[in-house]
Amino acid sequence: MNRISMSDLRQSIIVLNNMTGSKTDVYTKTKDSTGLMVYTPNKGTYYLDGAYGGWKLARNSPKTGHYVDVLRCGYIPKRELYSLIRAYMDGIDAILT
């Protein structure tokens, strides 16, 4: 079995965002009317969220832009998350084709 790296996880997120037509950047940086930098979440964008030595698939809600825990399985090891992301992408692919 090959080791799953962060690069593997990041690449799977890029592919997932491309499959769904979502932006790959989690936030868009703009200036508000006072000149301060404002970070606005890109709705529908998938990204990695890490804590406690584990990782999860997160998404900015397509409607509100708020945080969504997509798989609802908590923080898990990279290999397990990679497998779940691949299965999630297979499900999306089945719907789209």
Q: pLDDT tens across 7-28, in order?
A: 999 999 999 999 999 999 999 9
| Residue 9 CB coordination number (10 Å) | 19
Which of 82, 90, 23 minimizes the C-alpha distance to 48? 82
Q: Given pLDDT bands bounded at 50, 70 and 90, which one contains residue 1?
A: low
Domain range summary for the chain, segments of one domain joined by +? 6-96
Give tens-digit pLDDT for 25-80.
999 999 988 989 999 999 999 999 999 999 999 999 999 989 999 999 999 999 99
Predicted TM-score (pTM) of this structure = 0.90
Instruction: Find out whether 86 and 8 touch, Cβ atoms under 8 Å.
Output: no
